Amino acid sequence: MATTHIKRSNSASRLINYAEKRAVLKDGLNLDIDYAKSELKQVREIYGNTGKTQAYASRIAFSPKEFDPQNETDQQKALDIAKEVYEKTYPNQQVALYEHIDTDSLHIHAVVGAIDLESGKKMHGNWHEFRDRLVHNTDEIVEQHGLEVTQSDPNRTEKHSMAEIKMTERGQPTWKDQIRQSVDETMGNPLIRDFQAFREDLRQKAIDVWERGKNLTYQLIGTNYKTRGTKLGTDYEKETIYHELERRQQQSQETNRETSTPDTARTNPAKPDVDRTSELSRNTDSATINSQNSAGPTTETNRTNQPRSQSSLSNDLDQLVAKQREEQQTVGTDLTKRLRPISKADRNAQSEDRRSAEQDKQQPEKQQRNLEKSQQPTRKERERHDGPSR
């Protein structure tokens, strides 16, 4: 049985320094293991890809029931299996392998270069997919070598690291326990029915959560403490959370449909069906009569063939129309009589306005003539200047 682990690192040299000090055996893929640091650096410089992520730190651990850490034969066999796993999983990467026997389980540390030797690009995409591929290949290869495949516990709702276990034994709470407790409280609220409400409620508890590929990532706001839902347990994984939220949405929609659908089968439950039918029949007959009356007066021949009720109704309608015509004629005659003196007064007023306008038009001409006459010199003035006239 073998377990695997992988995570990103921004310092390949630091990983190699740690792994090389305690290694009992070492080997490499696509590099010389004795010059691993310099060759990894050289590849990054050649391709001009000196970004933040330089390598991936990985590890494969074997069960002490299968390999004895102190047995040299087991040591070499475990290293060969690990090399086969990484060669199949990362064929175009530089990989440095270092075997450790300082714990009960024999394990191999692997430093995987981030640069693809064929494309010159880094391992882009969701790096959790790289881990899934590594786990799948590990299970496949160890089974070929007659070893037991690691089985995950489906009933394990929470996952605790060794550091968490030790802190729990000392009675010290961990930050992961804080996240678990907050998520439990949020999901305990039945009003949380979508991911947006789930996220906002956790923010009020100083926890941020977001989707990252197939997983959810949780982080304590204001700190660097963050972890994936798969590290916390099955109850905190994306699939579990989304499944519960969708179930609540469907249940809420069904409840709303049941409460909002009215019973339209009976328009008036107080009346039996027979009474409603007769009432609708009477309404239909009255509507037919009104439509016939509004179409216009009928001929004498048709009137004799109609029922008496319809004939009397038509007579009343004719009388009403005749009366309305008489009233309209009376009103029109009275209005004409009243308007006659008004129109005569209007004509007198218009005549007066025209005379005033003509007088106003003639007045400036008279003023102009008077002014010109006043400006002409008198006879005495002409004689004074021009001499006596002849």
Asked whether residue 169 falls in the same domain as residue 140, the answer is no
Amino acid code (one letter) for 108: I
- Asked if residue 308 is part of any domain, the answer here is no
In the chain, the number of structural domains is: 2
Where does a domain end: 117, 144, 171? 144
- Asked if residue 12 is part of any domain, the answer here is yes
d(CA 314, CA 140): 99
Asked whether residue 140 falls in the same domain as residue 188, the answer is no
- Asked if residue 285 is part of any domain, the answer here is no
**Contact predicate 198/245, CB 8 Å:** yes
Asked whether residue 179 falls in the same domain as residue 113, the answer is no
- Look at residue 108 in the predicted model and tell me its pLDDT: 93
- Asked if residue 360 is part of any domain, the answer here is no
Asked whether residue 51 falls in the same domain as residue 123, the answer is yes
Asked whether residue 131 falls in the same domain as residue 167, the answer is no
Asked whether residue 7 falls in the same domain as residue 130, the answer is yes
Alpha helix segments (H runs only) across 261-307 = 273-294, 300-305
Asked whether residue 13 falls in the same domain as residue 106, the answer is yes
d(CA 150, CA 134): 13
Token pair belonging to 264: 């339209």
Where does a domain end: 227, 258, 289? 258
d(CA 55, CA 39): 13
- Asked if residue 239 is part of any domain, the answer here is yes
- Asked if residue 382 is part of any domain, the answer here is no
Where does a domain end: 208, 234, 258? 258
Token pair belonging to 81: 């299996």
Asked whether residue 140 falls in the same domain as residue 240, the answer is no
Token pair belonging to 360: 């106003």
CATH number (domain holding residue 72): 3.30.930.30
- Look at residue 347 in the predicted model and tell me its pLDDT: 66
- Give the residue among 235, 244, 58 at the shortest CA–CA distance from 159: 235
Amino acid code (one letter) for 212: R
Could you tell me the residue range of the domain that residue 252 belongs to? 162-258
CA pseudo-torsion sign 361, 364, 368, 369? positive
CA pseudo-torsion sign 276, 277, 278, 280? positive
Asked whether residue 65 falls in the same domain as residue 198, the answer is no
- Asked if residue 101 is part of any domain, the answer here is yes
**Contact predicate 207/226, CB 8 Å:** no
- Asked if residue 335 is part of any domain, the answer here is no
Token pair belonging to 171: 């009675």
CB atoms within 10 A of CB 180: 18
- Look at residue 298 in the predicted model and tell me its pLDDT: 45
Asked whether residue 6 falls in the same domain as residue 140, the answer is yes
Asked whether residue 51 falls in the same domain as residue 106, the answer is yes
Asked whether residue 124 falls in the same domain as residue 227, the answer is no
Q: pLDDT tens digit string along 21-79?
A: 989 999 999 999 999 999 999 998 888 777 778 888 888 989 888 899 999 999 999 99
Whether the model pTM is above 0.85: no
Intervals of the chain under pLDDT 70: 1, 124-128, 151-169, 261-314, 328-350, 357-390
- Look at residue 5 in the predicted model and tell me its pLDDT: 73
Specify the length of the chain in residues. Answer: 390
